[in-house]
Structure 1
Amino acid sequence: MDKIIKHRFFLGSILVGILTWLVLYLILPVIPKVLLQFETITFIVVNYLALILGYFVFNFKIKSSNKKKIEIQIKILICFILVCFIFRWVDLFFVRGLSFLNDFKTNRVINKVNFDKTNYLLILAAVLKSLYFFPFVIVYSVRTLQKKKALVVLAYFLLTLPFIEAVLMGTRKPFLEVFCVLCFTFFSFNRTKISFQKIAFAVLSIVVLLTISMSILFIREKKEKNNEEFYSKLLNVKYNDLLVPNQVVKNYVKDSSKNEVSRLLLVTGLHMGQYFSHGIYEFNYVMCSDSVPYTKGKYTFFVFPKFINKTNLFEKISLKNPSPRKIVYLTAFGGLYLDFRWFSILFMLFFGVFQKYCFQISVNFPIWRPLLMYILIINVFLPSINYIRGAGIYPLISFLLFFIFMKISVFKST
């Protein structure tokens, strides 16, 4: 566990994110419609530097922990999460009326129409269930807990629960999130050497993840469309406006005489690559636009004013999407720009300080380790996805609430 405090995990997560974006961009058969502006690149670089500076300039002295408490904490946490998922399913299936018999689009419409039928308790459960991966990280990282077979089985079982909602709604994020949690946890806490078998397993896992992800997309988009309409739609999705597929790719995908498998593979690779790389260009578009509203935190952290609006205790807060193209994939930097402009440097500085604290406290307090894994995921996706926007902030809120509960309960977490 001592190696988790080493700087290579923090810097490595940032570097992996940057290199992944660069590699995908370089190998993608796309042409940017507008080149990245100097101001866009400067904003991204300066915010990265602020994050790194915040991490390195502070150092915290962490007291030792009571190792015996972790088993009690993990049992409480597992029961807590299971109850939250039960409440969530009651909300989805019985209050809002979603069903596996409906297609993805129908369930999404029903979910939106019947959102007001839910109550505060069910909303709270929806937020707190985001702790589902915490038991797995804790159990995997603590040797004494690995001997508790029941805890191990339950920890792995909890990782599968978000897939129920993913299948209902046709969302792919839970599959990506679980995969990332598994990878970061195995890499961070695995005490054995990397082998060919492990590398092969990792590659196979990526292939399976991509297959599941694209299968969901294809099922969602292909319903009631013939093959040519389906391919045409995928070649005309919104992010193609800024990262335009080259003509060779377009011609091949549109050519019905070509092998169906090769067309699917090509459009799959194109779609996944654009999914992760186009956010920078969406942000660049925002930077080049005139009179973009200054949202003061309401864009990235809209869940807070959204909850306030639901209470009907205060005047309604406007939550319009300020992006000129109404696209949500603006990267974390795009969201911070809309919210704080160049004051985002201060936000990233404090975020770096918080990360340093998480790294250091995780050594002695296993309850913090899942939060650390989540932060590493955020770092990787900084140039691709605004991971803390919307429901992405839920694990942070949920951990805070659970930590407070443990502090004031008879099972104090020190």
Structure 2
Amino acid sequence: MIKTLKIALIVWLIFFVIPVDPIYDFNLFAGLYIGGCYLFFFSGILIYQGIFRNAEKSNTRFAITTTPNLGVYFYLGVLGMFFRFVDRYYLRGIVLSSDFDEVLMALDNTSITLIGILGSLLFFFCYIPFLLELLTKRPKWIYFFLFLIPVIDSILIGQRFQVLTAMVLALWAFFYYRSITFKRVISIAVVASLVLGIGVVLIIIRYMNHGMELYYSLTESGYAQTLQPTDWILKGQDESIAMFYIKFIISNMGQYFYHGIYEFSYLMDFNPHIQPKLGQSTFKILYQITSPLTGFNKDFWDQLPHKGIYLSYFGLLYVDFGLLGLFFQFIFGALWIHSLRMVKSGQIHYFLLYSYLSYVIIMMPVTSMISYGLGNNILTIAFITIAIGNRKFVIRQH
């Protein structure tokens, strides 16, 4: 628990030192709402711990001596992969190209089929065998290959969040029962650099497809509508090639990851009386499946001030539930600490739920990983994994 909260604090601290200048003053209500969200979140944790005060201590560690039958998850992942590819490349006729925007537009303009809906859910069982084996031993190569399929799928259509999600989940699984050593820190740095490099390449390709100069994008992109680069960044145009790219990467990543906080602030200035959408973002997949009955509003995003731009977790929570989002945070905090308690007790089929909720907590200043990055799908799979893995696991304390 402490590890997650420390990383979340670091993410917030980075927010205050990135070399970007906000265009607008921060809205007071937005700041109070963010503070209230954390207050209710920690209240949920503390009350849950008070109820289960006789549960395992936070420093208790367990070694799992039996593992679940991963074959079920493996075949469900393969089936999901098959359904997803059939829907996307056969039934909907999507053609991969170097222009990521064309692929994303084609996906948006064609209706997903029933096979596609099933595939988008089952697809993320690809994660389960690799993550559960990685907890305690070296995973089989076939599980590693299966784990990479969602990552490769995201790279092919130019999406970056899924690459980051896969890396975070893998690191969470690897270090849950292992100590951090210098060699492992170096390994993390190499993997993180690779992920960052992939992200930067995808950004550059997308800008080149639009005929947009890199530094021009820092001042004119969607992210720049709330956050502008500092003069120190802009001077990079007149420096060496290496410094040019270093400053571009720093500023672009800063704008990309933190503009959502200021988007929420701007939303409160732009439309402070927005009507709550009753979870259309947070429970998006449920609304989509039941759209004939619920009348899911596909124009939901059109009501936001800037199109195609992320809102922070808190912004989407407010748009979905208004002030009731504070009570959602209370439940979220209790659910997160419950999933951690289950993992500590040896019920590793809770691990995907615990690790992904931890990821959501860390990314709160950036955006809602429940709504974005196919978070709805991953969390659905996490709950299905819990339902499937109802067998008891033998553990030994050490």
Structures share fold, TM-score greater than 0.5: yes
Compute the displacement of 1:275 (Å): 1.4
Compute the displacement of 1:231 (Å): 3.2
Compute the displacement of 1:251 (Å): 4.5
Query: Does residue 50 of the first structure (1) align with residue 40 of the second (2)?
Result: yes
Match of 2:68 in 1: 71
Query: Does residue 205 of the first structure (1) align with residue 191 of the second (2)?
Result: yes
Q: The residue matched to 1:71 in structure 2 has which SS?
A: coil
Whether the 8 Å contact between 2:227 and 2:259 is mirrored in structure 1 is yes
Compute the displacement of 1:107 (Å): 1.8
Which of 23, 29, 43 aligns to 1:33? It is: 23
Query: Does residue 12 of the first structure (1) align with residue 3 of the second (2)?
Result: yes
Query: Does residue 237 of the first structure (1) align with residue 227 of the second (2)?
Result: no
Number of residue pairs matched by the alignment: 380
Q: Deviations over 1:142-177 (max 9, x none)?
A: 4xxx3xx7x522332222101332232111112111
Equivalent-residue separation in structure 1 for 2:232 and 2:342 (angstroms): 52
Which of 321, 345, 349 aligns to 1:367? It is: 349
Compute the displacement of 1:16 (Å): 1.7
Query: Does residue 398 of the first structure (1) align with residue 394 of the second (2)?
Result: no
1:127-276 alignment runs, 5 A limit: 127-142=121-136, 146=137, 152-190=140-178, 192=179, 194-223=180-209, 225=211, 229-253=213-237, 255=238, 258-276=239-257
Q: The residue matched to 1:244 in structure 2 has which SS?
A: strand
Equivalent-residue separation in structure 1 for 2:228 and 2:94 (angstroms): 37
Whether the 8 Å contact between 2:260 and 2:366 is mirrored in structure 1 is yes
Equivalent-residue separation in structure 1 for 2:117 and 2:81 (angstroms): 11
Letter in 2 for 1:283: F
Match of 1:124 in 2: 118
Query: Does residue 284 of the first structure (1) align with residue 265 of the second (2)?
Result: yes
Which of 102, 106, 116 aligns to 2:102? It is: 106
Whether the 8 Å contact between 1:99 and 1:107 is mirrored in structure 2 is yes
Whether the 8 Å contact between 1:78 and 1:154 is mirrored in structure 2 is no
With structure 1 as the length reference, what TM-score do the two structures score?
0.83
Query: Does residue 332 of the first structure (1) align with residue 296 of the second (2)?
Result: no
Q: Which runs of 5+ in 2 are unaligned?
A: 57-63, 394-398
Q: Deviations over 1:64-112 (max 9, x none)?
A: xxx787432x221111111111221222222222334553222223222
Q: The residue matched to 1:161 in structure 2 has which SS?
A: helix
Q: Deviations over 1:227-256 (max 9, x none)?
A: x73432343112212111123433433x5x
Compute the displacement of 1:336 (Å): 1.0
Letter in 2 for 1:397: T
CA 1:368/1:343 → structure 2, altered by over 3 Å: closer, same or farther?
A: same
Could you say what the CA RMSD is over the residues aligned between the two structures, in angstroms?
2.7
Letter in 2 for 1:270: S
With structure 2 as the length reference, what TM-score do the two structures score?
0.86
Q: The residue matched to 1:31 in structure 2 has which SS?
A: strand
Equivalent-residue separation in structure 1 for 2:142 and 2:73 (angstroms): 11
Equivalent-residue separation in structure 1 for 2:65 and 2:78 (angstroms): 23
Which of 85, 89, 96 aligns to 2:92? It is: 96
Match of 1:3 in 2: none
Match of 1:6 in 2: none
Q: Deviations over 1:377-402 (max 9, x none)?
A: 11110111111015212122123234
Q: The residue matched to 2:101 in structure 1 has which SS?
A: helix
Q: The residue matched to 1:347 in structure 2 has which SS?
A: helix
Letter in 2 for 1:214: V
Compute the displacement of 1:287 (Å): 2.1
CA 1:314/1:361 → structure 2, altered by over 3 Å: closer, same or farther?
A: closer
Match of 2:59 in 1: none
Equivalent-residue separation in structure 2 for 1:318 and 1:223 (angstroms): 27
Whether the 8 Å contact between 1:98 and 1:168 is mirrored in structure 2 is no
Q: The residue matched to 1:99 in structure 2 has which SS?
A: coil
Compute the displacement of 1:123 (Å): 1.0
Q: The residue matched to 1:388 in structure 2 has which SS?
A: coil
CA 1:382/1:141 → structure 2, altered by over 3 Å: closer, same or farther?
A: same
Compute the displacement of 1:359 (Å): 0.9
Equivalent-residue separation in structure 1 for 2:289 and 2:143 (angstroms): 30
Equivalent-residue separation in structure 1 for 2:186 and 2:232 (angstroms): 32
Letter in 2 for 1:135: P
Equivalent-residue separation in structure 1 for 2:236 and 2:141 (angstroms): 47
Whether the 8 Å contact between 1:51 and 1:351 is mirrored in structure 2 is yes
Equivalent-residue separation in structure 2 for 1:181 and 1:82 (angstroms): 19
Q: The residue matched to 2:228 in structure 1 has which SS?
A: strand
Letter in 2 for 1:57: I
Compute the displacement of 1:222 (Å): 0.7
Letter in 1 for 2:160: R
CA 1:401/1:49 → structure 2, altered by over 3 Å: closer, same or farther?
A: same
Q: The residue matched to 1:282 in structure 2 has which SS?
A: helix
Whether the 8 Å contact between 1:302 and 1:319 is mirrored in structure 2 is no
Match of 2:61 in 1: none
Which piece of structure 1 moves more, 334-343 or 92-101? 92-101
Whether the 8 Å contact between 2:207 and 2:213 is mirrored in structure 1 is no
Equivalent-residue separation in structure 2 for 1:177 and 1:302 (angstroms): 19
Compute the displacement of 1:132 (Å): 2.5
Match of 1:320 in 2: 300
Letter in 1 for 2:247: L
